[in-house]
Structure 1
Amino acid sequence: MLQELPHLEAFVKLGAVLRDFCENPNGNKGVWTDNLNEVLLTAKAQNGWFTLENLNFALKQWGDCLTEENLTQWLGSYTIEPVKRPKTIAIIMAGNIPLVGFHDFISVLFSGNKVLAKLSDNDKVLLPYLTKFLIEQDASLSQKVEFSASKLENFDAIIATGSDNTSRYFEYYFGKYPNIIRKNRNSLAILTGGENQGQLKALGEDIFRYFGLGCRSVSKLLVPKDYEFDSLFEAIQEWDSLTENHKYNNNYDYNKAVYLMSDFKFLDTGYLLVKEDSLFSSPIATLNYSTYTSVNNLKTLLETNNESIQCVVSGGIFEDTVDFGQTQTPKLNDYADGIDTIDFLVNL
């Protein structure tokens, strides 16, 4: 089974090491995992949003994904033929959360093609180190992965992730190539008022993990008219320690000052500002909300804004929604922007 897909054995070994690293922090570790600790400290020093807690969270999620069962189940629904002449796929990676471009990275390699990666300055040490481990397990990968610090050249297709602004730049320069160009998307949660404390507590994970910087982070709530927020605020109180992070706290203070000077109405928990706003995106340390009057009203809103939404959290009010607390633990087939990366790559 391990030999049926390119490089599968190396990734399964990486998954095992990551799980052991995260689950047994005081266990016996080798040189590679000892050095990984140093890499995490470097990543933290280079990006103030990359706390050790969030870095380890990201590593654990990938460790859980990279099992033989998960990988073969994910890739088993595709016809991936041996590639005689691998194509070079450029990947422009974002740096908003740790290893945000890793799914594109493994997708290119499992499709039998080559990676030409341009890393974000905000996340430039962790992936090269994981790649070093992979090459130690599978030497052929040394010919399949290249990291570029300069202008991207000599590639056959491109996957680029950025904002609405950078997407225009990407489309201008790379539109002539086969491409996946991702823009801004946001995630939201639908509340009915009937959620229990366990569900509301889990929603805190969706809102606050990675300081809300991910496209799968809930930045907006849809609530019934006259919704009472007290139960929600009680359930997510444990996240008040986020203000100990100076970058988060600076954003909280700044946005609060802006709202006060602008005479905006908002709710203040002391670590989160909640404001009624039609926008799906919200600044750091804030959460927008809108009210709805019926399920049909909700359905119309979701359909109209489908291209702006990454995922929707609910207690099952609609199909294809995410359970509370699960936005930051996507499965391998939960493709960003709903674009099937593997299908794109195997049909180039």
Structure 2
Amino acid sequence: MHLQQRINAFVKLGDFIGQFSNEAIKKKDNVEHNAIFFDGFKHQLKLAEESNGWFTQENIKFALKGWSDSLTLKNLTKWLQPYNLDAVNPRKIAIIMAGNIPLVGFHDFLSVLISGHNILVKQSSNDKHLLPYLAKYLEYVENDFKGKIEFTEEKLTNFDAVIATGSNNTARYFEYYFKGKPSIIRNNRNSIAVLKGKESTEDLKKLSEDIFRYYGLGCRNVSKLFVPKNYKFDTFFESIYHWHTIIDKAKYANNYDYNKAVYLMSEFDMLENGFFMIKEDESYASPIATLFYEYYDDAEQLKEKIKTDSNKIQCVVSSGFINNEIAFGKTQKPQLWDYADDVDTIAFLLEI
């Protein structure tokens, strides 16, 4: 199968996904094979929400919108242009996927198949409904994908390389278990935002998207702020208030109540507004419904700290503070060439 065939197939997949990416799901006449797949995928969205309380229809559709926007001929061509994908020797690549946000493993799935390899997928039980159905659609629009995609719930066997994502504990297990194979092993990372104290209300409103989208469960979600000495949080709280209905979600509310009780009983200082808490803490990983913050008084020292802790940080959100920063509101809208942990997946796959 030629590269252009693979690209064209994913463009068609993007068109199919796009029907489900808006508030109102709308069937389009010009999307291939809708008669076979449309109603079935609509049902998969319902199953995904029923099996994982964090996967609301809003968040599933947000994820689908992101992939629909990415899977265009223009984007795929731009992404792949730097690589020589004409003479790939197909290998079987095992992918162990996380399940913290909808379709979180799709970029690895896309990378393996678009580069010409075969794929063996082990999904998280938290996100098991959407991808297999999309894989069937992909096989239907490009027959040559049949036999190249395999899903398993069993122990992984007979593969040539692995890409595995998990917690810090499981990553250590992965590193030991897969030490004889070419691998990309990902562990916990968190994203941070650096404020200068002069951000507008609109900037902070955009930042709230980076904080609250997917209930803060993604590695690209901002879990910590660095703020100037004597920073006042009044404008920050005003700017995020439009997210107040998030407390209506039972799972989120339970986490909010629990963490608030822990902080109060431990007599920790924190600020809260009825649906969200901020707490001064040196850690990068904050609990659900909580954002950690830390003061800084020297920008250069903070830049050095960020550099030193780069293996703990996925994204840095700021405006004119540091190289490779992410704009406010953009962490959950990565481009195809924005690789997790800054590890070039395509380059890795070409070296196998």
TM-score range relative to shorter protein: over 0.9
TM-score when normalising by structure 1: 0.97
Equivalent residue number for residue 244 of structure 2: 240
Map 1:1-348; keep pairs closer than 5 Å.
Answer: 4-23=3-22, 25=24, 27-29=26-28, 30-31=34-35, 32-83=37-88, 85-348=89-352
The answer for unaligned runs of 5 or more in structure 1 is none
Native 8 Å contact 2:3 2:116 kept in 1 = no
| Partner secondary structure for residue 242 of structure 1 | helix
Alpha-carbon deviations, 1:225-269, whole Å to 9, x = none? 111111011011011111111111100000000000000000011
One-letter code of the match for 1:305?
Answer: D
One-letter code of the match for 1:226?
Answer: N
How far off its partner does 1:24 sit?
7.9
CA distance, structure 1, for counterparts of residue 297 and residue 259 of structure 2: 29
Greater alpha carbon shift after TM alignment, 166-175 vs 146-155: 166-175
CA distance, structure 1, for counterparts of residue 166 and residue 21 of structure 2: 29
CA distance, structure 1, for counterparts of residue 216 and residue 22 of structure 2: 24
CA distance, structure 2, for counterparts of residue 201 and residue 67 of structure 1: 29
Indicate how the Cα distance of structure 1 residues 145 and 192 shifts in structure 2: closer, same or farther if over 3 A, else same.
same
CA distance, structure 2, for counterparts of residue 81 and residue 217 of structure 1: 36
Native 8 Å contact 1:6 1:112 kept in 2 = no
| Partner secondary structure for residue 116 of structure 1 | strand
| Partner secondary structure for residue 171 of structure 1 | helix
Indicate how the Cα distance of structure 1 residues 195 and 61 shifts in structure 2: closer, same or farther if over 3 A, else same.
same
Alpha-carbon deviations, 1:160-192, whole Å to 9, x = none? 000100001101111110000001100000011
One-letter code of the match for 2:278?
Answer: V
| Partner secondary structure for residue 158 of structure 1 | strand
The answer for unaligned runs of 5 or more in structure 2 is 29-33
CA distance, structure 1, for counterparts of residue 81 and residue 334 of structure 2: 18
Alpha-carbon deviations, 1:34-81, whole Å to 9, x = none? 222211010000000000000000000000000000001000011112
CA distance, structure 1, for counterparts of residue 284 and residue 60 of structure 2: 26
CA distance, structure 1, for counterparts of residue 80 and residue 92 of structure 2: 20
How far off its partner does 1:19 sit?
2.0
CA distance, structure 1, for counterparts of residue 176 and residue 156 of structure 2: 14
How far off its partner does 1:23 sit?
4.2
Indicate how the Cα distance of structure 1 residues 46 and 82 shifts in structure 2: closer, same or farther if over 3 A, else same.
same
Native 8 Å contact 2:282 2:293 kept in 1 = yes
How far off its partner does 1:140 sit?
1.4
CA distance, structure 2, for counterparts of residue 47 and residue 161 of structure 1: 19
One-letter code of the match for 2:16?
Answer: V
One-letter code of the match for 1:71?
Answer: L
CA distance, structure 2, for counterparts of residue 231 and residue 71 of structure 1: 40
Indicate how the Cα distance of structure 1 residues 24 and 17 shifts in structure 2: closer, same or farther if over 3 A, else same.
farther
How far off its partner does 1:3 sit?
5.3
CA distance, structure 2, for counterparts of residue 110 and residue 14 of structure 1: 13
| Partner secondary structure for residue 7 of structure 1 | helix
Native 8 Å contact 2:191 2:220 kept in 1 = yes
How far off its partner does 1:26 sit?
5.4
Alpha-carbon deviations, 1:183-209, whole Å to 9, x = none? 110000001110011110000100000
Native 8 Å contact 1:6 1:110 kept in 2 = no
Give the number of equivalent residue pairs: 346
CA distance, structure 2, for counterparts of residue 27 and residue 44 of structure 1: 19
Native 8 Å contact 2:190 2:313 kept in 1 = yes
Q: Percent identity?
A: 54
Alpha-carbon deviations, 1:10-48, whole Å to 9, x = none? 100111122233248354454422222211010000000
| Partner secondary structure for residue 56 of structure 1 | helix
